[in-house]
Amino acid sequence: SLETARIKIESNAIHSFPLIISVRQTTGILSWQIPLLIDSTDLNTRIYNKTSRILCSTKYYPYAIRDEKELVIVSISTASQTNIFFNLNVTEITDFYLSSGIEKVVEISPSEPVYYGYIFPENTEITSVIVRVESDNHICMTVSIQNTSCPVFDLERNVEFSGYWQTVSKRGGITVPREIYPRGFFVILVVKGNDADCNSLSNSTFRTKNVTLIINPTITKRDYVIATGSTTAIAVLFCISYITAVVIFNIRRSRKLKRLETINEQNENINEQAPSPSMTTENGPKQWDSVAEDSSLDEDDIDIMEDAFSDKDVIRTKLVLSVCDLARKEPRILRHKSRLYLYYLATVAVFYTLPVVQLAVTYQRVLYTTGNQDMCYYNFLCAHPLGMLSDFNHVFSNFAYILLGLLFIFLTYSREHTESSKEEAKCYGIPQHYGLFYAMGTALIMEGILSASYHVCPNRSNFQFDTSFMYVIAVLCMIKIYQTRHPDINARAPVTFGILAFIIFIGLIGVLDGSMGFWVIFTILHLLICFVLTVQIYYMGRCKFNKSVFNRMIQTFKHDARCGIWHLLRPLYPSRFVMLVLANMCNVGLAVWGNLYQESNFAMFLLIILMSNLILYTFFYIVMKLCHRERILLTPAIYIVLSMLFWGAALYFFVNKTISWALMPAQSRIHNKPCELLNFFDSHDIWHFLSALAMFFSFMVLLTLDDDLIDVHRSQIPVF
């Protein structure tokens, strides 16, 4: 029996009196006309006098009688009163069904679409196949996957009515699950009348496209288990090893402290039995008490009384500052203020995440309902479906953020509850803000959850899900670095999250309206904020922008001028001045670069600004620490090296993009690449793993960087 056939017809009929072709089969009919009109650029219509259609086999019609002999009747008619030339050719297609791993090269045009069938082999573990399409030109086309039923929608105007479909320029791919198409499927290739849906251009007059079509099996269920199980096992083993090492270290440390306490008690007993007029034993406790009294002043004595404000102005504008000068508040007050970051972050996370998850699920459902795969920017050559998720591997790989965020919270908790002496911590070492560390760990967890939500259906509209908590992490880290040497000058949590909300709002506007006017306004705002922060950091928050600010500036210039030109030009705080000048130069450079090259990807540019400033600040802190002859212990040094290595490796895989939502869907698919790890993960999945480790080690750098100062009195710790 006839499986299927192709009908080719060419005629000189005109649009006013077209040639009508009707093909009647046993249970169906197909009709079209020549010339075939295809919408092209603007309001123009391209006319095709040569057409070709593939007939759908009768057995694929509903209620068709099996093994019925195929009957094809071709009727041709016209209303023209003059003779019309036509050439009709009916050809049997003997290679209609595609085989796995075998390439099929076809030539198509808007008036000559083609489609082929595929049937899943029996008695195999194949759960899905990937249909790959390659071409040598950028002419826009549509690839559609439809059920094996008639009629087949194979024209530009109706190809989107059934099944899955996507636009393709040079490369495309669709993963087809066996459970959705158990009896097989049709692959339809249709060239569009213009290229507007693929590259925003529609000036190509040549509309013939050579396409290479190949179908390959995807991974089996066993491959799913191996890939997910092995990565999960490695991550869990890493965390267990880390926790075990910390517990063992804490046990050894506590035993060592107990031995030291026993020795001290024995020495005290000896001293009590044989008192000595030593100045050290006589003055030591008194000196400790005086220091403790100086550094545990009630916050009300500092912040509310009028003389406290003048005291701040005097202390914070000294030429040489120590941490003791800026650590005058009660530890319980600092602890409460730092915990506010965690409370605010948890509240924001709940209210932000729930609608995001709901929207992500809705996107996935709409994708299944409409079949429009242009909605989501997947790496279609490495997108493994599971359950309701079309791209399970990119969702799964975000578990690294969640696991390492939980690990960092545990390490922070362990460190907080193993401090040697509460009283000694009031005067020695850097005042800790553990609430900020808890907030950083929680932000890392939320980054994993929101990044997974984004990867359910990645596109331009929801890219902000993936970056919002990266903004939070960058800001929290900068605040933590600043508060390390300025413990009393801490930004309030409500103000911080208000600023973060404003940043996210700006990012939203930039994504929706990235016009030149917006970029000009944003650049001015960016540099203005840099200037304000520069002044506040330089003067330790004691510079007020009010009506008398210009009078104060004039008076200061007058006094400095009387002392000489050198005093007028010499900065009051040289190290701070150099750091801030370099930071502002980098921000100006970023602003110029963003206006030149990042107009289509504002959300990423905003993240680059924040991350660049964080890197600059971290680098400055480490350099200044070394300049003040402070040591970097082995543990933080290892963390610094590890974070640099993992950031470098992560950025390598991040730059090698597999998608780009800043482009149109068909253009983005040109970047699609096959899987690189365990035949399951691509370069972006590897970015997830490596960047999670990089952020974890970066957090550990901030947690341990000043461990060399634990036994140093705060009056000996410089501020920079």
The whole-number pLDDT of residue 695 equals: 96
pLDDT at 623: 86
For residues 689 and 54, what is the distance between their CA atoms, to the nearest angstrom?
A: 48
The secondary element (H helix, E strand) that includes residue 655 is: helix 634-655
**Res 420: pLDDT:** 54
Helix (H) or strand (E) holding 241: helix 221-273
Q: Say what the alpha-carbon torsion angle 374, 201, 144, 180 is, to the nearest 10 degrees.
A: -10
What does the alpha-carbon distance between residue 578 and residue 327 come to, in Å, rounded to a whole number? 25
DSSP annotation string for 507-547 = HHHHHH---HHHHHHHHHHHHHHHHHHHHHHHTTT----ST
Task: Read off the DSSP letter of residue 174.
Answer: E
For the chain, domains (ranges, CATH) are 1-93 (no CATH), 97-218 (2.60.120.380), 332-534+572-716 (no CATH)
Sheet holding 185-191, edge to edge: 114-118, 185-191, 141-147, 164-168
Please tell me the predicted confidence (pLDDT) of residue 602.
Answer: 84
> What is the percent of the chain with per-residue pLDDT over 70, rounded to a whole number?
83
Burial class (CB in 10 A: 0-12, 13-18, 19+), 296: middle
Output the pLDDT for position 698.
95
Q: Are 106 and 189 in contact (CB under 8 A)?
A: yes
Q: Residue 291 — very low, low, confident or very high, per pLDDT cuts 50/70/90?
A: very low
Highest mean predicted confidence (pLDDT) among 36-50, 419-433, 596-610, 666-680 = 666-680
pLDDT at 251: 82
Q: Which of 251-265, 535-549, 605-619 is least confident?
A: 535-549
The residue that leads in pLDDT, 267 or 305, is 267
**pLDDT at residue 595 tops 90:** no
In this prediction, residue 308 carries a pLDDT of 45
DSSP string, 59-121: GGSTTPPTTPPP--EEEEEE--SS---EEEEEEE-S--B--TT--EEEEEBTTB-EEEEE-PP
> What confidence tier does 661 reach under pLDDT thresholds 50, 70, 90?
confident
Question: Stretch 606-623: mean pLDDT, rounded?
Answer: 90
> Would the pLDDT of 65 be above 70?
no
- Mean pLDDT over 509-535 rounds to 86
Distance of CA 631 to the CA centre of its chain: 35
Distance (Å, whole) CA 36 – CA 50 = 8
C-alpha to C-alpha distances, 628 to 575, 579, 623, 718, nearest whole angstrom? 11, 15, 9, 8
Contacts of 603 (CB under 8 A, 6+ apart): 463, 464, 467, 507, 510, 511
Provide mean pLDDT across the span 554-578. 68
The whole-number pLDDT of residue 203 equals 61
Pairwise CA distance, residues 411 & 444, whole Å: 14
Would you say residue 306 has pLDDT above 60? no
What band does 68 get if pLDDT is binned at 50, 70 and 90?
low
pTM of the model: 0.84
Whether a cis peptide bond, with omega within 30° of 0, leads into 458 is no
Please give the DSSP secondary-structure letter assigned to residue 490: -
Range among 17-26, 468-477, 705-714 rated most confident: 468-477
**Residue 287, pLDDT above cutoff 50:** no
| H or E segment to which residue 209 belongs | strand 209-217
Q: Is the confidence at residue 570, as pLDDT, over 80? A: no
- Kindly report which listed range (57-71, 339-353, 391-405, 462-476) carries the lowest average pLDDT score: 57-71
Residue type, 13: A
pLDDT at 269 exceeding the cut of 70 = no
Q: Is the pLDDT of residue 274 over 90?
A: no
DSSP string, 12-60: ---SSSPEEEEEE-SS-EEEEEESEEEE-STT-EEEESEEEEEPPPGGG
Among candidate residues 143, 160, 129, the one with its CA nearest the CA of residue 209: 143
- Tell me, what's the pLDDT at 280? 41
Q: Are 162 and 153 in contact (CB under 8 A)?
A: yes
Select from 311, 70, 106 the least CA-distant residue to 188.
106
pLDDT in tens, 528-558: 988 888 887 777 665 665 566 666 666 666 6
Q: Mean pLDDT score of the chain, rounded to an integer?
A: 83
Among 185-199, 293-307, 532-546, top mean pLDDT goes to: 185-199
Query: Which of 78-82, 332-336, 424-428 shows the lowest mean pLDDT across its residues?
Result: 424-428
What is the pLDDT at residue 165? 94
Run of H or E including 217: strand 209-217
What pLDDT is recorded for position 685? 95
What pLDDT shows up at residue 645? 96
Residue with the bigger pLDDT between 421 and 666: it is 666
Supply the pLDDT for residue 311: 54
Mean pLDDT of 160-189: 91
d(CA 511, CA 505) in angstroms, rounded, equals 10
The mean per-residue pLDDT over the stretch 681-686 comes to: 94
Q: What is the pLDDT of residue 2?
A: 58
CA distances from 325 to 218, 287, 593, 662 (A): 64, 17, 40, 50
Residue 404, pLDDT score: 96
Q: Is 90 exceeded by the pLDDT of residue 81?
A: no
The pLDDT confidence band at residue 57, using thresholds 50, 70 and 90, is confident
List the single range of 229-233, 309-313, 337-341 with lowest mean pLDDT. Answer: 309-313
Confidence of residue 278 (pLDDT cuts 50, 70, 90): very low
What pLDDT is recorded for position 366? 93
Has residue 290 got a pLDDT over 60? no
Distance separating alpha carbons of residues 358 and 369, to the nearest angstrom = 16
Q: What is the mean pLDDT of residues 223-229?
A: 93
Check if the beta carbon of residue 303 is closer than 8 Å to that of residue 337. no
Residues 6+ apart with CB under 8 A from 587: 526, 527, 530, 609, 613
Among candidate residues 488, 129, 170, 506, the one with its CA nearest the CA of residue 331: 488
So what's the pLDDT on residue 319?
A: 54
With 80 as the cut, is the pLDDT of residue 304 above it? no
Backbone angles phi, psi at 117, to 5 degrees: -110, 155
Q: Has residue 379 got a pLDDT over 60?
A: yes
- Is the pLDDT at 28 greater than 90? The verdict is no
Q: Check residues 423 and 577 and name the one with the higher pLDDT.
A: 577
Q: Is the pLDDT of residue 524 over 70?
A: yes
Q: Is pLDDT of 299 > 60? A: no
> What pLDDT score was predicted for residue 353?
92
Q: What is the mean pLDDT of residues 73-96?
A: 89
Comparing 490 with 606, the larger pLDDT belongs to 606
Residue 256 CB burial class (10 angstroms; 0-12, 13-18, ≥19): exposed
pLDDT digits (tens, 9 = 90+) for 444-468: 999 999 999 999 999 888 888 888 8
